[in-house]
Structure 1
Amino acid sequence: MKKILTVLGVLVLAVILVVGVGTWLGGRGNENTPPTGPAPAPGETTGAEQPASCPAFEVIAAPGTWESRADDDPVNPTANPNSLLLNVTRPLQEAYGGQATAAGADGGVKVWTLPYAAQFRNINALTEMTYDDSRNQGYSRVSDELAATHGACPGTKFLLVGFSQGAVLTGDLATDIGNGNGPVPADTVAGVSLIADGRREDGKGTLVGSPAVQGIGAEIALSSVNLLVQPIVPGATMRGPRPTDFGALNDRVNQFCDPADLVCSAPRDIGNAIQRANDLVAANGIHARYSTNGNVVPGQTVPQWVVSWARGIIDAGR
């Protein structure tokens, strides 16, 4: 009985760490959501002419839990001034103007930040939207934005960036797009960067830096004990791994994970969870520190790397 309680205690700790990111940020079941509308085949484009007013690139950023709000401004988000992805979107807006501009000879760049609930109902916040509903809302809104831009601007290329809950839904969407089930053709997506993806696993996308990552995403690690998780975080289905890799996008997806971050590097089995319990307690703030942690990508922070990566693609493609 003591061992069972110890295991359950570690699992409870794991879930609380996953949902407790907002404390350090200063803020307060099913498979991937099916896309709406007909899905284009991988690589298929409409061949329609690109209007001169369209951006050459659109950067879509999906913030993490408690870093967004459903009614936030997607061009100038203010929901959480400590949002990690502001360290990506603001430099890109400063470099390229932020909104869709006349394409002209140089092309324009649109920077769009997902406005969604970004909540995670748990035993300490039972009035919040469930993780499943929040994630699905985010998936749907990014999907709609992609479809709307592609419908009006078929030549526009997309760069997708997500953190934490935003990385999970962005990774789910990239999986669908790369396998021909998404709202836009795979060849319109120039690249994807996922920071602390809760469904991260080896071989799906490219892990940038952090060669010492030994764990897997929390949704995968906790999927076998989903029923134990539900009383703690009701409506947060631990769905396990994504059904496939990123398909046509697999070599265009970057993954970032601190080896001590439980969200993307959770223990692979319960035995390891017990052995690492003290380590998990010591490392519980790591998930919130990608904007200052210089150890994930040597010599720079993850947001700095992502900004350089995005600028390289944009400058080469304009």
Structure 2
Amino acid sequence: MTVRGWFVVLAVVVAGLVMPATAAAAPGPSHRTNCPDLYVLAIPGTWANASDPGILRDVTDGLGPRTLVHFVGYDATAFPWEGAIYGRSKAQAVANTTGLALTMLHRCPATKLAITGYSQGADAAGDVAAEIGTGRAAIRPDQVAAVVLISDPRRSHKDNLVGPRLAGQGSGGPRLTGMGWLSAVTHTICAPRDLYCNTPRDYYVTRIVGYLAETSDPTPSQMGQYHAEANAILGELLAKGGIGAVGREVSDQRARQQIIVFNRFLQSGVHTNYAAFQVAPGVSAVDWAYNRLAALATSHR
């Protein structure tokens, strides 16, 4: 098989990592309260939807009467034959999340926002947070109380990590701008063996496929990010031994090795088992995320 052929196969494998989570349109917010103290926007992963948002149900369930939770609807797909490729699906999640937040803040300017997401949803939630935190959105940073990302494919080693230290970064490459003014209130959770959010830096084939997924429907405002990640991959490859290293690192042999690793990863269920992954003794990732939001819900009463 050619190198390009292996890229296609690996791309299918990597795209499969964004399970679970799709998105039917999310139900409109309940208006049992005039204005909530805390408005939680939860973005499910690929192939989930508002009626079945996966682990985000447990993350957001029972936060109290003064908190309104809204599961963000979007295509939540990854492949062209599903209706929207990954880049376009994620861009839709970003736009829908921003739109919901602005609508709420226009009606209830004193309401505080919390944004959380899992997998592709974490990718989108992180992008929304980065836009707000660096002053590129109509939402002010002081209107956001917390951001919680679970298995973010653009996780950076500079992000506030909950749980054990990690050597890799997200498969799609870290966000160029970081979280800006939202850095202190943004937390990311990633299981060490989850290759979606913890890709070893020398897995160049995987990083290239992650880059192709992120750029599958380019967002104009992200062009600097795309260029930075492409330059980082190429620069690191050249530093390993010049132009010859590029050929070796993207060879059929290296692609085969990484496909084997990803198959083992998929079979392990690590990516879909954050309810069991402990970030501290007796505290699962889902527990920590819920506790973070619950503390906010209590403090804003």
Give unmatched runs, 5+ long, in structure 1.
Answer: 28-51, 69-76, 98-107, 221-240
1:282 to 264, 275, 282: 264
Q: Is the 8 A contact 1:89 1:111 kept in 2?
A: yes
1:20 aligns with 2:16: yes
Letter aligned with residue 208 of structure 1? V
Q: Is the 8 A contact 2:20 2:45 kept in 1?
A: no
Residue 79 of structure 2 corresponds to 121
**Structure 1 Cα separation of the partners of residues 264 and 135 of structure 2:** 42
Residue 287 of structure 2 corresponds to 304
Q: Is the 8 A contact 1:199 1:218 kept in 2?
A: yes
**Structure 2 Cα separation of the partners of residues 60 and 26 of structure 1:** 15
Q: What are the superposed Cα offsets for residues 270-312 of structure 1, whole Å, 9 maximum, x if unpaired?
A: 4797476654332222111112x23344322211111111111
TM-score normalised by L of structure 2 = 0.72
How many residues align? The count is: 241
Q: Is the 8 A contact 1:64 1:118 kept in 2?
A: yes
Letter aligned with residue 161 of structure 1? T
1:250 to 179, 183, 187: 183
Residue 214 of structure 1 corresponds to 167
**Structure 2 Cα separation of the partners of residues 154 and 249 of structure 1:** 19
SS of corresponding position for 2:92: helix
Q: Is the 8 A contact 2:72 2:93 kept in 1?
A: yes
Residue 164 of structure 1 corresponds to 119
1:74-85 matches, cutoff 5 A:
77-78=50-51, 80=52, 83-85=54-56
Residue 214 of structure 2 corresponds to none
Q: What are the superposed Cα offsets for residues 81-128 of structure 1, whole Å, 9 maximum, x if unpaired?
A: 6x1211112233xxx14xxxxxxxxxx211111011111115xxx243
Residue 101 of structure 1 corresponds to none
Whichever structure has more helix as a proportion of its residues is 2
1:138 to 89, 93, 98: 93
SS of corresponding position for 1:305: helix
RMSD over equivalenced CA pairs, Å: 2.6
1:60 aligns with 2:41: yes
Residue 59 of structure 2 corresponds to 88
Give unmatched runs, 5+ long, in structure 2.
Answer: 23-32, 207-253
**Structure 2 Cα separation of the partners of residues 198 and 109 of structure 1:** 28
* Compared CA separation, residues 160 and 54, structure 1 to 2 (3 A): same
